[in-house]
Amino acid sequence: MPTPFDHAMNQLERATKLAFFSPEFLERLRYPNRQIRVSIPVTMDDGSLRVFEGYRVQFNNARGPYKGGIRYHQDTDIEEVKALAFWMSLKCAVANIPMGGGKGGVSVNPKTLSAGELERLSRGWMRALADVVGAHKDVPAPDVNTTPQIMAWMADEYAKVTGETNGAVITGKPLDAGGSEGRGTATAQGGFYVFEALRSELGLPEQCRVVIQGFGNAGEHAAEIWSKAGHKIVATCDSKAAVRNPDGLDIAALYVHKKSTGSVAGFAGGETFEGSELCFEPCDLLIPAALENQIRQDNVGRVQAKAILELANGPVTPDADDALFARGVPVIPDILANSGGVTVSTFEWEQNLNGEHWSEAQVFEKLKTMMEREAVGILNRSRELKTDLRRAAFVIALERIKDAMK
Ligand code: GLU
C-alpha cells in the first residue's frame, strides 16, 4: 500500500508538470531537512515504565521557522509525519504566512492514558526535543488528538528546560496561557471562508446537505459553523460510529450526547450506522475531517458528494483525485481548505512575540481576508492551467517556496 508520503510525492510530480521548476529544486523538496526520532520514557500510574517513540520532522524552512502540529495516534510513524511535514511546507506557502513546514507525533493511543500519564508523555516529548524547537526555529501546535492543555504542558516544560518563558515556542495554547482568540475553531472557520468564497463558482446550492467525517478538533467545529450558517449536516461520525438524519442533525444536541457518552453512537436524533460507510452518503458537500487515505481508487466510485472540502490532511489519494476530476467533482485541497488553523497559529505566534492580544473579531477578519484571497487565486490559477484545485494550489505554493529558496 502506498504511504501518505508516496501520495505526497505523487502529487508533487503531477503538479510540477504544469509549470517549470528546476530538477534541482524538485530534488531538494523530496527530502526533509531533518527527521528526528526520540524515545520518551514515561512512568505509568501503576509504577511501571513505558517508552514511547516520538518524532519531529523539519521539512523546509525557506519561508520561515518550521511550523506544524504534533499528532498522538497509535498508527502514527515517521513516514506519516514526514508526509504531514511536507504538506505543512506547502500549506504555509499557500496561506502566505512566514512559516516553513514541520510536523511531530507520538505513536500512542492517548485514549488509553490517564490525565497524569498524558501530561508526563507531553512534557517528555518537549524535554526530548527542546533543543530543536524554538520561537524562531520550529513552532509546534495541536493536531489529531492533541489539545490546548497539552500545548500548555509543553510550553511550561520548554520554559523549565530552556529558561525562555515566551510562549511563542508553541501555538494552540489555552487563552490564559497566551493562546489566541479563535484558534480552537480556526481550522473549520478558515475552511468555511474558503467554501463561501468558492461555493457558487463550484455550482453548489445556497443551502447544502453536508456530510462530515470526524467529530474532533476540526469536524465538531465544522458541524457547528456550517449548521449555524443554514446548511444541513445530514451525517457525521467519530472513530466509533456514524449517525445520519436526512432532515439535518441537531448539532448542539449531538455535541452534548458525545460529551456524555464518549461517542456519537446511539444519538436519539438520528440513525446510527457503520462509520466506514460515512463518505458514501448522498450530499452536496463532503468534509473529511479525520485521517489520510479515506477516499481511494477502490472506493471513490461510491462517493456521491457534489464537492469535497478537505479539513483533514491527505484524505483523498491522487488516483481518487483523478477520478473525481473526471466526474466533475471539485476537491478543495487540504493545503488550502484547512490552512486556517496554521494561519491563526501564526497570529498567536505574532501576538506572543509582540506582547499583544487581538480580539476574536480582529482574528476572524484577518483570517477571512487571507483565506478568500488565496481561495480565489487558486480557483483562477486552476482555470488558467485547466487543472484541478490541488495542482493549482501546489503550483502557487511551489513558486513561493522557490522564490524564498533563491
Ligand atoms: N495541525 C494543524 C495542521 O495540520 C495546525 C498546525 C499549526 O497550527 O501549526 O495544519
- Supply the CATH number for residue 265's domain: 3.40.50.720
- Between the CA of 178 and the centroid of ligand 1 the distance, in Å, is 17
Question: Could you tell me if the CB of 381 is within 6 A of ligand 1?
Answer: no
CA 70 to centroid of ligand 1, rounded, Å: 8
Q: Quote the cell numbers at residue 125.
A: 516529548
Ligand 1 pocket member 69 (CB < 6 A): yes
Per-residue pLDDT of the chain (406 residues; tens, 9 = 90+): 899 999 999 999 999 999 999 999 999 999 999 999 999 999 999 999 999 999 999 999 999 999 999 999 999 999 999 999 999 999 999 999 999 999 999 999 999 999 999 999 999 999 999 999 999 999 999 999 999 999 999 999 999 999 999 899 999 999 999 999 999 999 999 999 999 999 999 999 999 999 999 998 899 999 999 999 999 999 999 999 999 999 999 999 999 999 999 999 999 999 999 999 999 999 999 999 999 999 999 999 999 999 999 999 999 999 999 999 999 999 999 999 999 999 999 999 999 999 999 999 999 999 999 999 999 999 999 999 999 999 999 999 999 999 999 8
Same domain, 319 and 346: no
Please say whether the beta carbons of 54 and 1 come within 8 A.
Answer: no
- Per the residue annotation, which of 67, 82, 91, 103 is the catalytic one? 103
CA-CA distance, 86 to 388, in Å (whole number)?
Answer: 20
At residue 247, the pLDDT reads 97
Tell me: the pLDDT tens digits for 236-252? 999 999 999 999 999 99
Q: What is the C-alpha end-to-end distance of the chain, expressed in Å?
A: 36
Tell the residue nearest (CA) to atom 8 of ligand 1: 342
Looking at residue 133, what is its pLDDT?
98
Residues 36 and 172 in one domain: yes
Cell of 140: 509546534
In 3D space, the residue among 123, 87, 125, 88 whose CA is nearest the CA of residue 106 turns out to be: 125
Q: Active site includes 240?
A: no
Residue with cell 513558486: 399
Q: Is 61 in the pocket of ligand 1 (CB under 6 A)?
A: no
Do 176 and 36 share a structural domain?
yes
Same domain, 164 and 226: no
Q: At what angle do helices 360-385 and 78-95 cross, to 10 degrees?
A: 90
Q: pLDDT tens across 17-75, in order? A: 999 999 999 999 999 999 999 999 999 999 999 999 999 999 999 999 999 999 999 99
Cα–Cα distances in angstroms (integers) from residue 73 to residues 52, 81, 182, 287, in the given order:
11, 11, 25, 21
Residue to probe by mutation, ligand 1, list 61, 80, 143, most atoms within 8 Å of CB: 143
Instruction: Give the count of domains, the chain.
Output: 2
**How many C-beta atoms lie closer than 10 Å to residue 237's C-beta?**
29
Q: Which of 92, 342, 343, 348 to mutate to test the pocket of ligand 1 (most atoms within 8 A of CB)?
A: 342
Which residues constitute the domain of residue 178?
29-183+341-351+370-406
- pLDDT at residue 276, as a whole number: 96
Q: At what angle do helices 339-354 and 78-95 cross, to 10 degrees?
A: 70
233 lies in some domain: yes
- Determine the pLDDT at residue 1: 86
Residue 172: predicted pLDDT? 98
pTM of the predicted model, to two decimals?
0.97
Q: How many helices (H) and strands (E) does the chain have?
A: 13, 12
Burial of residue 213 (CB within 10 Å: 0-12, 13-18, 19+) is: buried
Do 111 and 171 lie in a common domain?
yes
pLDDT at 30: 97
- 218 and 174 in a common domain: no
Q: What is the CATH number of the domain that holds 78?
A: 3.40.50.10860
Both 226 and 287 in a single domain? yes
